Amino acid sequence: MTPTAESDFSIHNLPFGIFETEAGGPRAGIAIGSQILDLARLAAQGHFDDLKIPNLSVFSRDSLNAFIALGKPYWRAVRQRAASLLTTALVDQKAAKMLPPIEVGDYVDFYSSEEHATNVGKMFRDPSNALLPNWKHLPVGYHGRSSSIIVSGQDIHRPKGQLGAGEFAPTRQLDFELELAFIVGKNTALGSSVSVDEADDCIFGMVLLNDWSARDIQRWEYVPLGPFLGKSFATSITPWIVTIDALEPFRAPGPAQDPRPLPYLQSRGDRNFDIVLEVFLQPESEATPLRVCRTNFRGMYWNMNQQLAHLTSNGTNLRVGDLCASGTISGQTPDSFGSMLEICWNGTKPLTFPGGAVRRFLEDGDTVVMRAYAQRDAVRVGFGELRTRILPALPLDA
């Protein structure tokens, strides 16, 4: 059971998730190595009685929302207690089915990588003025569809849509987007706002996220109101939520922001995180996956605190379980680009695999695997694997 040095789920991590087994229904757990610490069983055995948790049934729900709503002092207390109970109430991860860890009320996808936004601007607008005028003044974002958020291991069907005037067909430009996302951990009142500094108490943790995109559907529909059906067909996340407490040792400074943001967006201290991210792609005809991207989260121009402050700046309210994604995470070099759109430069630079497969965008049968971890010396905190296979489009009447 002892995690290896390469394990994502080390004693330094202890991420929260929801699982079920043949012996019992959905319940909360903490990952440690290849095992799951069953929090519902620990609660039933009295291990949390002295923590004065208002309702121990929060560990026997089909989402973490009720537990997260208890607030940061309880998040920390349970995680610290769990660290002392790692030899009891264990379930082998192979014997468990992982479920969505939260009930997502609202889903927001930001657009916070300057490198990604610049690449897209170069492809589709003026290369000498790639960024739109507002981009360095606010964290651009859009509201996605929460009903189609799925967990790692669940395959997706190629989406269908309008590809242009008079044409409805399966997308020919299916793409992944490498992202991280944070989970809102606090309800706020309608009309109130959350400051950059207050955001620390409103973020429970993070998951790895793949914001699938149908580029041809998106290109035809997005003017003037932005992404819609080209994005809403599926968004994949990892089932384990890595807490902000676990990521504290990996805080890092972000890029210099010029021009200086307005006062409500001004950020002090290290708000970014040194998290390595990788994407592997395996066509059905290839024997092994090929790493197509390796990048780092620390380079994001807008940090999570600024994103949350901007999201609530108009008085919109937050709800526990809301999901806020970073936007595609890209670096400065082609091997660090976080989407096929960039890697293959809108199809003009095909990707060739060792076995001969060629890709400009994703094809049926392809498997996309994403990984993310933070590591410093012997301390490693990882997110687990985000794996999805692409299935053919369903018939129109299915």
Q: Give SS3 for 374.
A: strand
Residues 6+ apart with CB under 8 A from 135: 111, 114, 117
**Count of residues making up the chain:** 398
Give the H/E segment covering residue 76.
helix 72-83
Quick one: tokens of 259?
């021009």
Q: Give SS3 for 190.
A: coil
Q: Give SS3 for 362.
A: strand
Q: Give SS3 for 88.
A: coil
Residue of 86, 93, 91 lying closest to 34 (CA atoms): 93
- Say if CB 246 and CB 281 are below 8 A apart: no
Active-site entry in 12, 47, 116, 310 = 116
Residue 116: active-site member:
yes
- Say if CB 157 and CB 170 are below 8 A apart: no
Quick one: tokens of 391?
């299935």
- Say if CB 269 and CB 306 are below 8 A apart: no
Q: Which residues pair with 381 in a beta bridge?
A: 374
Residue of 171, 181, 162 lying closest to 329 (CA atoms): 181
CA pair distance 243, 68, nearest whole angstrom = 11
> CB count, 10 Å around CB of 56?
16
Residue of 232, 183, 225, 229 lying closest to 211 (CA atoms): 232
**Residues with active-site annotation:** 116
